Amino acid sequence: MKLNIAVLPGDGIGPEVTKQAIKVLKAIALEFDHTFLFKEALVGAVAIDEHNNPLPDKTLELCKSSDAILFGAIGHPKYDNDPSAKVRPEQGLLKLRKELGLYANVRPVKAYDTLLDKSPLKREIIEGTDISIYRELTGGIYFGEKKLSEDGNTASDLCEYSREEIERIAHLAFKAAQSRSKKVTLVDKANVLETSRLWRRVVTELAKQYPDVTLDFLFVDNAAMQMILNPKQFDVILTENLFGDIISDEASVIGGSIGLLASASVGDKYAMFEPIHGSYPQATGKGIANPVASILSAAMLLEHFDLHDEADLIKEAVEKALKLNVTTPDLNTIYDNISTNKVGDFIADFISHPKDSNHNFTNIHLGQSTII
Ligand code: IPM
Ligand code: MG
């Protein structure tokens, strides 16, 4: 298969983790005889620095003319600490999601057997957790009208949803549940918010089309608690934009590190693949950022094109890396010198020589990876 992939490394650790995902995709292309062509463009703070625009037209055009987008991370402390900044890096990502119509953000959360003791949660609570979060991505309070009074003392953000916006992602969530454990949990705040009541009504009606799937409801405050108390009760979680943002960071604790969580943002026409973590400015350039979320996002990209054997091999390589402690310091209590780059090397190397990974592990330690 030939794929044109737009690469938007973005800010902070974005470029270093994305580099590993590309390395892994190149190993896959070689192994399975595919042609993946990568073209880079600027987004976020780096784009503001260069073009005074977090999403330059050129970047958007590249995304629209590509088959898929691989996204790194966005954000810079100089904007976080300046509430009066008119242009912000995050606007680049939000505009990208909106312009490309990426309304469904799929975030898988899994407890890896080899990492059960790395999570701050108890092993018996998280063991076997396998959740797929369907977060609505182009509506709600993120995109509603924003107001700030002239004296700067009153502000508001409008939260709005339409039936159509709810239906299109709900269909995807129900379809996903059909090939999983057949349960959808709608997370909302229907005891307070009108938009949540609309979600409940629309999703309840739509559920009739999926009689094999059970639908239940949780208020978001309770869901936040349940995620820690009993995450195994969840199969597919369907939720609106802001609740999905919060609950998915919380869920990342189950896996042991936010550096493991990948995501796919899909619409009717375009698809973008991005780790759920941020730009982690404190780690930039230090080689300590976990590239696994970016690498697993690349696996989701392959799944999107029905390249399941390829995606499975990446996942197998990641599991092998986790098992052998070829991981960055966020997950490693044994070796303290395994860099972002070494993790990428190991995973790419495993893909090229799956039978020979212990040997390659030694080579990587000696700086003699067979991957150039
Ligand atoms: C995410 C991020 C973004 C969001 C930020 C960077 C705008 O937190 O993808 O979860 O809030 O959606
Ligand atoms: Mg987030």
Question: pTM of the full predicted structure?
Answer: 0.94
Is 176 found in the same domain as 152?
Answer: yes
Question: Is residue 109 in a domain?
Answer: no
Instruction: Check whether residue 303 and residue 251 sit in a common domain.
Output: no
Give 65's DSSP letter.
T
Task: Indicate whether 82 and 158 sit together in one domain.
Answer: no
pLDDT in tens, 293-335: 999 999 999 999 999 999 999 999 999 999 999 999 999 888 8
What does pLDDT average to over the chain? 94
Q: What is the model's pLDDT at position 138?
A: 98
Residues β-bridged to residue 218: 187
279 and 314 together in one domain = yes
Last residue in a domain, options 203, 226, 255: 255
What average pLDDT does the segment 54-62 reach?
98
Alpha carbon nearest to ligand 1 atom 10, residue: 245
Q: How far apart are CA 4 and CA 67, in angstroms?
A: 5
What pLDDT score was predicted for residue 361? 60
- Of 255, 285, 301, the one marking the end of a domain is 255
According to the model, what pLDDT value does residue 368 have?
A: 52
State the total domains in the chain: 2
Is there a single domain that holds both residue 82 and residue 169? no
Q: Is 212 exposed, middle or buried (0-12, 13-18, 19+ CB in 10 A)?
A: exposed
Does residue 111 belong to any structural domain of this protein? no
Q: Which atom of ligand 1 is nearest to the CA of 93?
A: 7
Q: What is the three-class DSSP state of 91?
A: helix
3-state secondary structure of 5: strand
184 DSSP β-pair partners: 215, 236
pLDDT bracket for residue 184 (50, 70, 90): very high
Residue 333 near residue 6 (C-beta atoms within 8 A): no
Q: Look at ligand 1, atom 7, and give the residue with the nearest C-alpha.
A: 90
Residues tagged active-site: 142, 189, 221, 245, 249
Residue 241 alpha carbon, nearest atom of ligand 1: 12
Residue 362: is its pLDDT beyond 90? no
CA angle 240–278–129, rounded 5-degree value: 60
Q: How far is the CA of 71 from the centre of ligand 2 (A)?
A: 14
Place of tokens 């597919």: 236
Does the beta carbon of 245 lie inside 6 Å of ligand 1? Answer: yes
